[in-house]
Amino acid sequence: MGLYSFFVENIDYYITGVKYTLLLSVVAVVLGFILGAVFALMRLSSIKVLSWIAAVYIEFLRGTPLLVQLLIIHYGLSIYGINFPPLVSGSIALFINSSAYLAEVFRAGIQGVDRGQMEAARSLGMTKGMATRHIILPQAIKAVLPAIGNEFIVIIKESSIVSIIGVMEIMYNAEVLRGSLFEPMKPLLIAAIIYFIMTFSLSKLLGVFERKLKTSD
C-alpha cells in the first residue's frame, strides 16, 4: 500500500490528531500570551518582590525541559490529590511553558519602546499605569506580534510531546496506527508531512502579516 493510500484509508485518525494539535496550540498561545504579558510587567516592576517572582518563574520554566514540566503536572501533582485529564494537563504544560518565553518577548518589546513616550505621557498628566496601558503596551504588542506567531509554530511542533500522556493529537494517533497495523514507517512519515504543511503554511501567513505591518508603519 502506498503512502497516499495509507493516509486516505486512515484519514480519520489524522483529522482527529490535527484537531487536538490545533486546539492545544491555540490554547497554549492565547493563555501564554496573557500570562506572559503579566509576568513581563512583573519582571519590569519597580517592586522587587514582584520582579524576583517573575524572574524565578521565567528562568525555571525556560531552564527545565517541557517533558519534565508535563510529567510533574500530570503525574506529580496526583500525590497531592490534584488529577487533571490528559488534555487539560497537556494544555497547562504547554501554556505555562509558552508564557515564560512570551514574557521575555514582551519584556524586549516594552523595553524597545522609546523612553520618551513614557515621559511625554507623564507630562500630559497620565499616571505610570495609564501610560503603560494606553501608550506603551499597544506599541510593544504590535512590535512582538511576529514573535508571537513564531511561538505558535513552535508550540505546534512541541505539542507532540503530550502524546506520552494519552492526548490524541497527531503523534499519538500515528503511534496507534503503527502498533495496530504493524506499519513502522508510514504513520510517522505522514505525521511529519502534516506537521510540515501546518508549520510551513503558518510561516507563510506570518510573512504576509509582517509585510502588512511594515506597510502600515
Cell numbers found for residue 38? 503579566
Range list of H helices, the chain: 3-9, 11-43, 48-63, 66-74, 86-112, 115-123, 128-131, 137-158, 170-181, 186-216
Q: Return the closest-CA partner of residue 37 out of 106, 110, 140, 136.
A: 106
Q: What is the pLDDT of residues 13-38, one digit of tens each?
A: 999 999 999 999 999 999 999 999 89
Q: What is the pLDDT of residues 102-146, one digit of tens each?
A: 999 988 888 887 777 777 777 777 777 777 777 777 777 777 888
CA distance 8 to 6: 6
pTM of the model: 0.87
Burial class (CB in 10 A: 0-12, 13-18, 19+), 181: middle
Q: Which superfamily does 3-216 belong to? A: MetI-like (1.10.3720.10)
